[in-house]
Structure formats: structure tokens, C-alpha cells
Amino acid sequence: MLEDYAVHGARHVVDSPADHLEVLSPDVTLRWGWCRTPHWSKFRFGAPGSRVGSQLPDPERLLVSASSAVPTRTASVFAIRIDGVTKRFGRIIAVDDLSLTVAPGEVFGFLGPNGAGKSTTIRVLLGLIRPNAGTATVFGDLAGDVRLSHRHLAYVPADVALWPSLTGAEILELLGRVGPGIDIEYRAELVDRFDLDLGRPGKTYSTGNRQKVALVAAFATRAPLLVLDEPTSGLDPLMEREFRRCVTEARERGQTVFLSSHHLAEVEAVCDKVAILRAGRLVEIDSITDLRRLRRTVVEVSYLDARPSVENVAGVSNVEDLDGARLRFSLAGPPAPALAALAAADIGAVAMREPTLEEIFLDYYGQTAR
């Protein structure tokens, strides 16, 4: 279990009894997290209608072996666990044997071109549709059992539709009252920050404003998991910046964010980890740092006399001669052989640059058919 944590990039290190709780019980983590940050101390714990009581940790999940600190129910550790999920619509396979896990507290980017199966995966995760095979769990609760699994999450759909006759304020009131509990003061602050006019009926909102209503409703919840499906497609750059700040604040509060997006710069800016989907299959899942490292590095070299010979070196590709005794090539995998080849020549300067997420993304999709 602890290995899992290391692999999946958890930000907490298990070294004290308090941290055991953080890792093993997401619910406790949250309560603790809320109380710790000034923002979330505004929560009205135990207020009428709040469901704090129902979020108390399941005693079974707190079972810890004193010697190894390994929990008996490993599944409960993950905010999201998708296990071999396949979903077919007629003859079309939308999602094909997809497995991934998201650790609590992580901001997880979910990338893929249109029709790759991102929204289908999210709909399976929300229990809106049933997978043909496999299971999905949210903090250990099966996605299909929405009374349990939806206590842990708030959702912003890709295409937000509002009840046409309800005003923004009325929609927020409804979702706040029937959802997993909200921070009213924080919601008021978000309305302000997103510059949202709440007096207008739903049908008069533009696409961006409808998205803002859904975002305010989701970020104001105390749900430990935020599932956001392309939430910024209709937002202007100012609002997009506000969105990124909200994701950062959610992470600071200990909330997990599952973000499906086409905005690679946004994913790069806010996400700890990224999964890349193609034609319903997972093609890559890694932290952004490792993703860059594993993919390729762009190397530019200026040499003094003899041109270094790197053509047949392991990991080197796209060798290009530039003006003025300069050379550019891509490097993938361990850099030692290429560095050795460079060391053999008389090198003036070396510049190495990691690829942007966009370059990585295009690497996956640029040359191959979906």
C-alpha cells in the first residue's frame, strides 16, 4: 500500500499516527484539513441539514496494522479507482479495459482528443451509465451506489444545462440544499470572484455563465472529490485564471480534483498527474514531471570545430543541423550515451529543454490515427 502511494505521487508521508489517519481515511483527512486551513474553518459543522455525521470514517477502514501501517482494505485509500472498465454503445467501444487510480489530495488531469472516451469514463464514475465490465469506486464506494459514492463528490458536466425558469441564485440554493453540504460564505466569495449575476433566469445565461454557475456550486461544496469535465471551455482568460486559483485552493484544502480538459496549459499549470486516453484506452499515466522526462528532451549543442556524431547513439532522434555550428536533437530515455558522445567532441554550450505538455500530447496523437 505504501508502495502504491509512492508510485502514485501522494503528497503525505506516513510517519506519524495523525498521518496514518490522513492516508487511511479520506473523510477524516478532510475534516482535519478543513479545520486546519482558515478558509474551511468557516464550515458550519453540525448545522441543520448538514451531513457531517454521515461522513464519519467507517471504523473498518481505520484498521491499521501497528507494525506495517498497511490497511486491510486497500481500495478505500484511493479517491478514484477504476478497474478494468469497458463501456460499449452498440458496436462502438467507448472505453476499453480502462484502469487507473487517483490518490486523495491529488489534482489529476485527464487528457484525450474528442471521442477518446473521457466523458464516458466520467459518466461511469458518476454511476450515470453502467459499465459492461469492470468496476469504479469513489473513496471505496461503488460508483453505482450513488447514495454512498455521491457523498464524496461534486460534479461539473461538460455541457451545463440549467433549469430555464430558475435563476442562478435558485439553482445554487437547490444544489446546496440537496448536495453533500456547502460552505455558504465561500460560495458568496466565489460568486463575487467569478463575477456571476445570480438574478437572471437559467435560460438567459451564456455558455460561460452556465459553466460558472456549475463551478461555483461545485467548488463551494465540502465534497472531498471534485469531478470537472472540461469546465473551462466557455470561460474567458480572466475567469480561467480564477478557475486555476480555485483548483489550487481546493488542493490546499485537501480536496481531490479530477480534471478532464483540452487546455493543456491549464492541465500543466494545475495538475500533479496526467492520464492520456486514446480510442478508449489508457496510453500514458504519470506525473507531469516524469512524463516530460520519460518522453524526450530537446537538446541544442554549439560545437567549436568537429561536429559531434550523435546519429547512431541510443535514444537520439530528429538530429538537425542549425546555423552557426549548432546541432539540435531529441533525446529519450537515459541521457548517458548521448552525453558520452558529446563529451568526445569539443562542445561550446549545451542547452536542454523539456518538452511542453502540448508537444507530448502531439507526440501521442500527431502521427498516429486515433
Partner 1 sequence: MTPATTTRSVVASMSPAAPGLAVSRLSIRQVRRGAVIVAVVCAGMSAIVAVQYQTTFQGSIDQSGLRALVENPAIRILFGPPVALDDAGGFTVWRTGTPLLVLAGVWILLSATRITRGEEEAGRWDLLLAGGLRTADLVLRCLGALAGSALLISAAIGSGLVAAGTDATGAFVHAAGVLGVILTFAAAGVLAAQIMPTRSAAVGLTVGVLGVDLLLRMLADGVPALAWAAWATPFGLVARAAPYADNRVAPLLVLAAFPVLLAGAALGCARRRDVGSGLVAEATSRPPRTGLLGSIAGFAVRRAVRPTIGWATGIAAYFLLIGALIASILEFFDANPRFAELAAGAGFVGLDSADGFAAALFSLLAIPTGLYAATRLATMVADERAGRWTPLFAVPVSRSRLVCTEVAVIVAGVVGLHVAAALAIWTGAAITGAPLGIGAALAGALNTAPIASLGLGAAALALGGFPSAVGAVGALPVAGGFLLNVITQGTRAPSWLVNLSPFGHLAAVPDAPPDWAAITALAVIAAVLIALGVAGYSRRDLSS
Residues that bind partner 1 (CB under 8 A): 49, 51, 123, 126, 128-130, 146-151, 153-155, 157, 159-164, 167, 169-171, 173-175, 177-180, 197-201, 203-204, 214, 217, 227
* Contact by Cβ (8 Å): 187, 220: yes
Q: Which is nearer to partner 1, 170 or 363 (CB)?
A: 170
Report, in Å, the least distance between residue 80 CB and partner 1.
Answer: 15
Report, in Å, the least distance between residue 239 CB and partner 1.
Answer: 20
Which residue is listed with cell 539540435? 328
Instruction: Read off φ and ψ for residue 92, nearest 5 degrees.
Output: -85, 130
Which residue is listed with cell 478543513? 34
Report, in Å, the least distance between residue 196 CB and partner 1.
Answer: 13
Report, in Å, the least distance between residue 133 CB and partner 1.
Answer: 15
- Separation of alpha carbons 324 and 5, rounded Å: 48
Report, in Å, the least distance between residue 143 CB and partner 1.
Answer: 12
Report, in Å, the least distance between residue 319 CB and partner 1.
Answer: 37
Q: Which is nearer to partner 1, 18 or 178 (CB)?
A: 178
Q: Which residues contact 290 (CB under 8 A, 6 or more apart)?
A: none
Q: Which residues contact 347 (CB under 8 A, 6 or more apart)?
A: 301, 302, 303, 304, 308
- Separation of alpha carbons 29 and 250, rounded Å: 13
Three-state DSSP class for 314?
Answer: coil
* Contact by Cβ (8 Å): 104, 224: yes
- Separation of alpha carbons 6 and 274, rounded Å: 16
- Separation of alpha carbons 113 and 22, rounded Å: 35
Compute CA 362 distance to the chain's CA centroid, rounded to the nearest angstrom: 20
Report, in Å, the least distance between residue 217 CB and partner 1.
Answer: 7
- Separation of alpha carbons 124 and 209, rounded Å: 26
Q: Which is nearer to partner 1, 138 or 316 (CB)?
A: 138
- Separation of alpha carbons 241 and 156, rounded Å: 17
